[in-house]
Structure 1
């Protein structure tokens, strides 16, 4: 895995501090480079071996992107690592990925570029099992690009 550059990790202590985040920009991760090795490993894992991801020579000649690009789902799969470098919720028994409400891949990520996450708390719902379901607005920015790579509404459950 490619390393993430240093960012300001926001540490939240317990449920009251987590609930106080509603509607706030929580933080921004450090930068992570998208390497050819990451793209190749993702292609090997998923079987998605389209030439726009793996064939640098052909992509430079034929694609509208001027070179190879990361898979959209590779970009999305970086959310756990980027989130962990942005926010730490202390005092939980466990937290789980609960899914996604909406995902859009708004711009391609050229191999060699760097991305980072902007995380915002959108909503929270107490659940019957004692957990809290959080809805996060997750925007993956591409360095020096006007449009983000991915905008997603992600869900997590925190058990205290």
Structure 2
């Protein structure tokens, strides 16, 4: 697939930018996420839940950036991306350890805020294999900035 450029994006508003392959999530991923985010017994002052079958919502949310970096074919030509924030996030269905997930990203808006600074809004839908409907939907804002800041 030929990579898109930032100049291509306005003509792609409303279209799917990518649909990822399936990614398995397991208890080890949840444990690593817990350690990285201080969700440990020594930090919480109590032992972590031993239910262990659910994948944290914030781990799922962190996959937005991971899937974009892996699956969005965007030629940046020296431009770097900044995480600006999220407009809306909804966790609609649980994801359990052992399930596979995949993400699709639809381009909602592109706006050049000033020369060399482009705001990109995507709707990111995470599916869990075998589940009815999406597990998570997140509208993510990224800024792409020219190396000289415009």
Q: TM-score, normalised by structure 2?
A: 0.84
Measure the CA separation in 1 of the matches of 2:79 and 2:116: 11
2:3 aligned with 1:11, yes or no?
yes
**C-alpha contact (below 8 Å) 1:29/1:83 kept by paired residues:** no
Task: Supply the distance in 2 between the matched residues of 1:121 and 1:103 (Cα, whole angstroms).
Answer: 16
The within-5 A match list for 1:113-128 is 113-128=99-114
What is the CA deviation profile of residues 122-142 of structure 1, one whole-angstrom value per residue up to 9, with x for unaligned ones?
A: 011111252110110000111
Tell me which of 122, 125, 142 is aligned to 1:139: 125
What is the number of equivalent residue pairs in this alignment? 138
Counterparts of 1:46 and 1:81, CA distance in 2: 16
Going from structure 1 to structure 2, the CA distance change for 1:92 and 1:119 (only over 3 Å counts) comes to: farther
**Structure 2 unaligned spans of 5+:** 41-47
CA contact (8 A) 1:10 1:26 kept: no
Does 2:52 correspond to 1:84?
A: no
Name the SS of the counterpart of 1:96 in structure 2. strand
1:21 — aligned with what? 12
TM-score in terms of structure 1 length:
0.79
Cα distance between partner residues in 2 of 1:92 and 1:19: 19
Q: Give runs of ≥4 in structure 1 deviating > 3 Å.
A: none
Q: Give the one of 53, 68, 78 matched to 2:53.
A: 68
Asked if the contact 1:83/1:117 (under 8 Å) is kept, the reply is no
CA deviation profile, 1:19-59 (whole Å, cap 9, x unmatched): 221111112011111111110011112233541xxx2xxx3
Counterpart of 2:83 in structure 1 is 97
Contact 1:28 1:117 (C-alpha < 8 Å) held by counterparts: yes
Alpha-carbon distance in structure 2 between the residues aligned to 1:41 and 1:106: 23
Query: 1:10–1:86: 8 Å Cα contact kept in structure 2?
Result: no
